[in-house]
Structure 1
């Protein structure tokens, strides 16, 4: 029986870490969880705030958005929601789209659409608030 050869002093966990197929799965997993945690209180705030003004006029709604506290929380909600959506849909594309070219094209379209939607929503809030 031959003696085992030691090729590395790193542990098995150390050799495996960071060597997955995407080389970034842990990062995406953590970002998905962070945006989920951020969205929980922001969504509760938004739902209760909007539920308190069911018969609000356009002027009352824009005045509500124009308040600094509401504008900041609304911008935080938009950022967290669009990041969360982009990472979630990226996972779907990576898992179910076949072919590297189709996958890259779908991811570029997805990220571009999420960015443009976030940008337009953010500019709308800022235009009302400023």
Structure 2
């Protein structure tokens, strides 16, 4: 039992003034994903029966490679924001929370770099 008043116990537990920025980043990335997802779905349907040479020629166009990299990075950023909220809200052990957040950030960065290099390798033909 604490001798602090209700206001004293609540002080410092309020808003960290970061939630609104995170909220808007998630919404803006979701809005960016709408046209990118539509482009990706149409592209996949158009290339469904293509061989590797056709796909490589398609990916070699700068617009397609750029949109593919933008799609990958936006998806991973949006997923990172969503998973961060889930971990912060539902993992109560501080050590597990910290390890989970670090592992999730590492995985997102690793996947972003790996996928971007893979896309550029196919697009450039190196």
Q: TM-score range by the shorter chain?
A: 0.7 to 0.9
Q: Which runs of 5+ in 1 are unaligned?
A: 1-18
TM-score (norm 2): 0.84
1:88 aligns with 2:106: no
Q: Which residue of 1 aligns with 2:72?
A: 78
1:33 aligns with 2:38: no
TM-score (norm 1): 0.81
Secondary structure in 1 matching 2:92: coil
Q: Deviations over 1:34-68 (max 9, x none)?
A: 11000000000010111012111011112211110
Of 39, 63, 72, the residue aligned with 1:69 is: 63
The aligned length equals: 111
Of 103, 107, 118, the residue aligned with 1:124 is: 118
Larger of the two Rg values belongs to structure: 1
Distance in structure 2 (CA, Å) of the matches to 1:106 and 1:54: 37
Distance in structure 1 (CA, Å) of the matches to 2:56 and 2:88: 39
Q: List, as ranges, runs of 4+ consecutive aligned residues in structure 1 with deviation greater than 2 Å.
A: none
Q: Which runs of 5+ in 2 are unaligned?
A: 1-13
Of 98, 102, 106, the residue aligned with 1:108 is: 102
Secondary structure in 2 matching 1:56: coil
